[in-house]
Amino acid sequence: MAQMTMIQAITDAMRTELKNDENVLVFGEDVGKNGGVFRATEGLQAEFGEDRVFDTPLAESGIGGLAIGLATQGFRPVPEIQFFGFVYEVIDSISGQMARMRYRSGGRWTMPITVRAPFGGGVHTPELHADSLEGLMAQQPGLKVIIPSTPYEAKGLLISAIRDNDPVIFLEHMKLYRSFREEVPEEEYTIEIGKADVKREGKDVTLVSYGAMVHSCLKAAEELEKDGISAEVIDLRTVSPIDIETILESVKKTNRAVVVQEAQKQAGIAANVVTEIQERAILHLEAPVLRVTAPDTVYAFSDAEEVWLPSHKDIVEKVNTVLNF
Amino acid sequence: MKHVLESVESQFETFQILNENGEIVNQDDMPELSDDELKELMRRMVYTRILDQRSIALNRQGRLGFYAPTAGQEASQLGSQFALEKDDFILPGYRDVPQLIWQGLPLYQAFLFSKGHFHGNQMPEDLQALSPQIIIGAQYVQTAGVALGMKKRGAKTVAITYTGDGGTSQGDFYEGMNFAGAYKAPAIFVVQNNGFAISVPRELQTSAKTLAQKAVAAGIEGIQVDGMDVLAVYAATKHARDRAVAGEGPTLIETLTYRYGPHTMSGDDPTRYRSEEMDNEWAKKDPLVRFRKFLEGKKLWSEEEENKVIEEAKEDIKQAIKDAEKYPKQKVTDLIGNMYEELPSNLVEQMEEYKAKESK
């Protein structure tokens, strides 16, 4: 075991798979010699060579097309999109192409591609770096969308993503890259895609969340505990598909739920979680399922992040509304 | 400085071997093709012209669905495909079904593609190709990836892709060529310039005098070819292929061609944007007419032989449309089954729902 930040765990996962499978290729803007703008691919080109880990011209759509073409030649591409706000340039390659390839070719061609990209607020990035756009990806049949919240999960989920024979979008929250360390096994391990994790057990209310908001939920849960309120915190880990079973099991126990996301209310995937709960467990609910989200504006100018991003205080407030319904 | 444009344009003169009268005008670049190969090229062009006529008729009868006419582009489509080897990879656009057929896609599957059935897209294992791309330009960036993959595998093969004149305005067109150029990947990019993108004339796409010169932006070789001249198209593609497998990188080939029919059979009326005069002008350049004259001059082709090909094509088409119509209908469970290697929880649930529905 070693103490690792999330970014180290991510590098470690890529190193593990580059070693395990000669078909794994890592590429993107500045991922080679430079080791990535966040150092996520640090040392990988030196260890595995320019043939396996390489830079590309500055064009996201081309990177997506490159991944698709390489996949037809039996490679297992792990392309990086420097910031997920730049995904608009490559939405056709992701949603219009790789997500559909197995289906459109009746299984003749498959796309074992893992698209990695940082996103997320709280670190005062310039425009279109921090936007939460997982909701766009979650609406595309043919994709799976993963958002880890801890170093341990980042490594296990990334190894699973790379080994998956269908396209996976792996979104890495920038605020979590180096915010804390945790014990991460040095050997390889996997975490099943599509499975949520109960981060904290509770009996009064279920908090369903993902990404950086998982930590806000845990902080809120601690505050709530001071008032004698016991919150259960579920980390979705995969936002498409959603692990309905784990959510239902919890809601049936607590009878109350709040869904928490960093994305705007009209975006993200919270509405989907609410719908699933009301379709499958309405008779177990003592109160409506409410959401904590960002407001429906364009992502905040960096100086306004603090007032704009949802915080643990917003979560505490919403839990109280649900409890006093 | 003001002469830069002119000097660039002068680098892209139209490459031609056979003129409109079927005479060799460029003996130096005459490709080495045996008599049998020359006849096979003619056979394929005639067959494909019949396939186009029958496809239009079948579409009008409602027995085919989406169809983009190909008449006029036989030299461009088949001359380039004829220069390929079996393991080369084709990334076609939506009008490029003939190249797939001659590279090995069974005709009944081409018809299933038109009708909208997934089996039409299940390329046989020994055919290296994607199904026709609907998103104009997407095939170009993907080609860069296929070609880079071949280079990494050390394969002596190439990736070839096709788009139209309108497609050269897309970002993916430039990105694809530029990526392949930066990696010196074995790719052949073909632009079939038939003068119109639906109703928009080629002049409205760009003020560049040729489309071939767009290769300059990627730093790769560009060739403009008479796309009604099957020998010139073959020779240019063969040249590009030789360069590619020798590790010299990609080539952009612009073929000057024409489609005699509408853009697609989905309601396009070319008389709204094309004059009869223009149609007549291009009819004189018909690739079949000039190649027929050429072969007849060499005593390699006769009316009898041509009629034999026409009959053969009609028979094949009749059988293929029957096979396509007999093919089992698609079920929702088939579509769900084709989505992932392992179904995620939502689809496991929906699979059960539709299984129950379908067993009723």
Tell which residue, B119, B126, B136, B131, has the closest CA to residue B104: B126
Query: Tens of pLDDT along B222-244?
Result: 999 999 999 999 999 999 999 99
Instruction: Please report, to the nearest 10 degrees, the dihedral formed by the alpha carbons of residues B260, B261, B262, B263 taken in order.
Output: -70
Contact B339 A93 (CB under 8 A): no
Tell me, yes or no, whether A191 lies in a domain.
Answer: no
CATH number for the domain spanning A65: value is 3.40.50.970
CA atoms within 13 A on the CB side of A104: 16
Task: Mark which of A184, A215, A230 sits at the end of a domain.
Answer: A184
Residues A31 and A165 in one domain: yes
Spatial strand order in the sheet of B251-256: B89-91, B159-164, B187-193, B251-256, B221-226
Residues A121 and A208 in one domain: no
Tell which residue, B110, B144, B94, B45, has the closest CA to residue B263: B94
Residues B237 and B352 in one domain: no
Q: Under 8 Å CB-to-CB from B341, ≥6 apart: which residues?
A: A102, A110, A164, A165, A166
Query: Tens of pLDDT along A107-128?
Result: 999 999 999 999 999 999 999 9
Residues B325 and B353 in one domain: no
The answer to whether residues A181 and A4 touch, using CB atoms and an 8 Å cutoff, is: yes
Residues A174 and A92 in one domain: yes
Catalytic residue among B43, B239, B263, B290: B263
Nearest CB neighbour to B131, from listed A105, A164, A241 = A105
Residues A37 and A173 in one domain: yes
| Three-class DSSP category at B107 | helix
Range A35-40 average pLDDT: 96
Residues A147 and A229 in one domain: no
Range B297-314 average pLDDT: 98
What confidence tier does A1 reach under pLDDT thresholds 50, 70, 90?
confident
Residues B144 and B189 in one domain: yes
Residues A140 and A238 in one domain: no
What confidence tier does B1 reach under pLDDT thresholds 50, 70, 90?
low
Distance between CA atoms of residues A101 and A111, nearest Å: 7
Where in the sequence is the domain holding A91, given as residue range(s)? 2-184
Residue A163: closest C-alpha in chain B: B341
The answer to whether residues A78 and A28 touch, using CB atoms and an 8 Å cutoff, is: no
Residues B288 and B355 in one domain: no
Task: Mark which of A152, A184, A216 sits at the end of a domain.
Answer: A184
> How close are the terminal C-alpha atoms of chain A, in Å?
46
Contact A74 B140 (CB under 8 A): no
Residues A127 and A79 in one domain: yes
Residues B164 and B290 in one domain: yes
Residue B87: closest C-alpha in chain A: A73
Residues B105 and B131 in one domain: yes
Distance between CA atoms of residues B33 and B41, nearest Å: 10
Residues A242 and A313 in one domain: yes
Residues A26 and A133 in one domain: yes
Residue A96: closest C-alpha in chain B: B135
DSSP state of A54: E
Chain A residues with CB under 8 Å of B172 CB are: 61-62, 65, 92
Residue A190 has what pLDDT? Answer: 98
The answer to whether residues A118 and A107 touch, using CB atoms and an 8 Å cutoff, is: no
Query: How many domains would you assign to chain A?
Result: 2
Q: How far is CA A20 from CA A32, A48, A112, B27, in A?
A: 19, 12, 15, 55
Range A1-29 average pLDDT: 97
Where in the sequence is the domain holding B350, given as residue range(s)? 331-359
pTM greater than the 0.95 cutoff: yes
Nearest CB neighbour to B142, from listed A56, A68, A144 = A68
Residues B336 and B323 in one domain: no
Exposure string over B26-57, b if 16+ CB within 10 A, otherwise e? eeeeebebeeeebbebbbbbbbbbbbbbbbbe
Query: Tens of pLDDT along B241-271?
Result: 999 999 999 999 999 999 999 999 999 999 9
Catalytic residue among B174, B260, B273, B354: B273
Residues B237 and B319 in one domain: yes
Is pLDDT above 70 for B2? no
Is pLDDT above 90 for B286? yes
Tell me, yes or no, whether A190 lies in a domain.
Answer: no
Range B213-217 average pLDDT: 98
Query: Tens of pLDDT along B64-119?
Result: 999 999 999 999 999 999 999 999 999 999 999 999 999 999 999 999 999 999 99
Predicted complex ipTM exceeds 0.95: yes
Residues B299 and B341 in one domain: no
The answer to whether residues A23 and A72 touch, using CB atoms and an 8 Å cutoff, is: no
Residue B187 bridge partners (DSSP): B159
Tell which residue, A177, A176, A152, A161, has the closest CA to residue A26: A161
Distance between CA atoms of residues A190 and A210, nearest Å: 19
Range B313-325 average pLDDT: 98
Please give the backbone phi and psi of residue B307, each rounded to the nearest 5 degrees, phi first.
Answer: -60, -35
Query: In residues, how long is chain B?
Result: 360
Tell which residue, B239, B207, B242, B206, has the closest CA to residue B225: B239
Residues A155 and A231 in one domain: no
Contact A65 B140 (CB under 8 A): yes
Tell me, yes or no, whether A222 lies in a domain.
Answer: yes
Range A61-74 average pLDDT: 98
Residues B305 and B343 in one domain: no
Nearest CB neighbour to B142, from listed A69, A141, A240 = A69
Residue B4 has what pLDDT? Answer: 86
Task: Mark which of A129, A156, A184 sits at the end of a domain.
Answer: A184
State the helix-helix crossing angle for B35-60 and B287-297, rounded to 10 degrees: 150
Number of A–B residue contacts, CB under 8 Å: 135
Contact A65 B145 (CB under 8 A): yes
* Test mutation, A27, A61, A86, A101, chain B, max B CBs within 10 A: A61
Residue A79: closest C-alpha in chain B: B145
Tell me, yes or no, whether A171 lies in a domain.
Answer: yes
Distance between CA atoms of residues B199 and B204, nearest Å: 10
Residues A95 and A29 in one domain: yes
**Does B345 contact A at CB distance below 8 Å?**
yes
CATH number for the domain spanning A261: value is 3.40.50.920
Tell which residue, B92, B52, B79, has the closest CA to residue B290: B79
CATH number for the domain spanning B265: value is 3.40.50.970
Residues B347 and B273 in one domain: no
Query: How many domains would you assign to chain B?
Result: 2
Distance between CA atoms of residues B190 and B40, nearest Å: 22
Range A180-206 average pLDDT: 98
**Does B330 contact A at CB distance below 8 Å?**
no
Range B41-62 average pLDDT: 97
Is pLDDT above 80 for A243? yes
Instruction: Map A69-83 to HEC letters.
Output: HHHHCCCEEEEECCC
Nearest CB neighbour to B144, from listed A62, A166, A244 = A62
Catalytic residue flag (residue B234): no
Catalytic residue flag (residue B119): no
Query: Tens of pLDDT along A140-156?
Result: 999 999 999 999 999 99
Residue B170: closest C-alpha in chain A: A61
Exposure string over B147-158, b if 16+ CB within 10 A, otherwise e? bbbbbbeebebb
The answer to whether residues A133 and A87 touch, using CB atoms and an 8 Å cutoff, is: yes
For residue A241, say if its preceding peptide bond is cis, omega within 30 degrees of 0.
yes
Residues B297 and B348 in one domain: no
Contact A104 B119 (CB under 8 A): no
Is pLDDT above 90 for B3? no
Residue B101 has what pLDDT? Answer: 98
Residues A170 and A283 in one domain: no
